[in-house]
A and B are shown apart, each in its own frame.
Chain A
Amino acid sequence: MAAFDYRQAEEIRDAFARHGCRYLFIGKSGAILLGFPDTTQDADLFVEKSQSNGESLVSALREIGFAIDAGQALQIRSGKDFVQLKNGPFDLDLVFAPDGIERFEDAWSRRVVVEGFPVCHIDDIIASKVATNRQKDRESLPRLESFRLYLRRQGRG
């Protein structure tokens, strides 16, 4: 499978917009959209947890090319907190309840839009990684902290 690229991000953006999905790029993929120079392996989306958003999400994902069967669609709609998709053109993690962020609305109100891509604020990305506290998060946090400082100085944080 090829790595996630700009065109695929555009597909997400456009299909999700057509279906009215509420989502934010989060994690290192979100930081990269904000300008963070680093590498990652997949895209993470923080998705609003609601029945209607779940239905929109399933429709949009199928349109992009994810092979989501009826049982899987039910799980997405029924409000699972974490869904890992590797049955489409690229790997995608749907995070309905990320560590360190209380409510989708809070993150949505702080979102940053980059070329039409809705992205979590760098504070939320860092808060999530701090709360998760995995080995791989721990290793990237010092650089993310410096990047937040850089954004602030640029008037973008």
Chain B
Amino acid sequence: MEMNFQSADRNAVRSPSSEKDQTSFRGLGMPWGSLRRRANGPGREPASPRSQFVFFSPRNGVAAASGQMLSCAPRPCFRATGCFTVSVWRLAACAGPPYHSSMSSSAETPEAEAIPADLLADFEAAARRPLRQRMRYAFIHTHKPVLDDAPFRAFDTTADYRRWCEQNLPDWLGYGRVRLPAS
């Protein structure tokens, strides 16, 4: 999936005001409401209007959701389609609890659980394309500072690798592990 974006005029972008508006955070598959609540607390506006972006759906061409980004701009890369592809995100959600703390195991997931309509449409569209074509648009390459600066690295344990990433890579690459905030 690609997410096309443009920096938004601060007057043109507002946080979704109703629950209905907050239900879809297209492209990230995360409920906007939870992002907003984690980032700002209930009823509080985002700290910086300049950190807001509007995301446009490539399929329907309309703004699907608005999101708040922290500390860095998205790193776009040009693709054959001429669109921007957002490759690295640092989202407000990082302040929340670990994802698995609220995730259902496969055995617990009720089959009646709904797949969001926009995701279902994406899955079905992907299923109609041959693997070769899907791969052509799924793999992108952008330079990742530090990470891409050595031709070979080996780590004794996976934990060593995770630790190395946290100590050496810029936060905005997203390789840092999410931790519970101190209570």
Asked if A and B are interacting partners, one says: yes
A→B interface (CB under 8 Å): 1-6, 9, 29, 32-33, 35-43, 67-68, 72, 75-76, 80-87, 91, 95, 97-99, 114-115, 123, 126, 130-150, 152-154
Q: Which residue of A has the minimal Cβ distance to B141?
A: A3
CB–CB B93/A149 < 8 A: no
Which residue from B116, B127, B136, B141 sits with its C-beta under 8 Å from A146? Answer: B116
B153/A134 in contact, CB under 8 A = no
**A136 engages B174 (CB within 8 Å):** yes
Closest residue of A by beta carbon distance from B136? A5
Residues of A within 8 A of B31 (CB): 142
CB–CB A38/B158 < 8 A = no
B162: contacting residue among A132, A141, A148, CB under 8 A = A132
Q: Are B174 and A135 in contact (CB under 8 A)?
A: yes
The CA of A128 and the CA of B62, in the complex, are separated in Å by 34
Cα A147 to Cα B122 with chains together (Å): 10
| A138–B178 CB distance below 8 A | yes
Question: Contact at B131–A115, with CB atoms within 8 Å?
Answer: yes
**B182 CB-CB contact with A under 8 Å:** no
| B19 CB–A CB distance under 8 Å | no
Q: From residue 75 to 112 of chain B, which have CB atoms closer than 8 A to chain A?
A: 85, 87-91, 93-94, 98-100, 103, 106, 109, 111
Contact B127 A35 (CB under 8 A): yes
Shortest beta-carbon distance from B57 to chain A in Å: 13
- Report B-chain residues with C-beta under 8 Å of the C-beta of A35: 123, 126-127, 134
User: How far, in angstroms, from A139 to B106 measured CA to CA in the complex?
Assistant: 19
Binding site for A on B (CB under 8 A): 1-2, 28-31, 85, 87-91, 93-94, 98-100, 103, 106, 109, 111, 113, 115-116, 119-120, 122-123, 125-127, 131-132, 134-142, 144, 147-148, 150-158, 160-162, 165, 173-178
New A-B contacts (4) at CB < 8 Å, excluding given A134-B175, A135-B178: A33-B135, A37-B122, A86-B151, A139-B89
Given A81-B160, A139-B28, A140-B29, the answer on whether A149 and B142 have CB atoms closer than 8 Å is no
Also in contact, A32 and B160, with CB within 8 A (given A3-B141, A132-B177): no
B19 CB, nearest partner CB in chain A, Å? 18
Q: In the complex, A126 Cα to B108 Cα: how many Å? A: 14
Once bound together, how far apart are the Cα atoms of A126 and B99, in whole Å?
11
The listed residue (A37, A97, A141, A144) touching B125 by CB distance below 8 A is A37
CA distance A68 to B158 in the complex (A): 21
- By the criterion CB–CB under 8 Å, are B154 and A37 in contact? no
With both chains docked as a complex, state the minimum distance between the C-beta of B114 and any C-beta of chain A, in angstroms: 9
Contact B151 A87 (CB under 8 A): yes
Contact (A133, B152) CB under 8 Å given A142-B28, A146-B116: no
Cα separation A140 to B90 with both chains bound (whole Å): 12
Q: Which residues of A contact B29 (CB under 8 A)?
A: 140, 142-144, 146
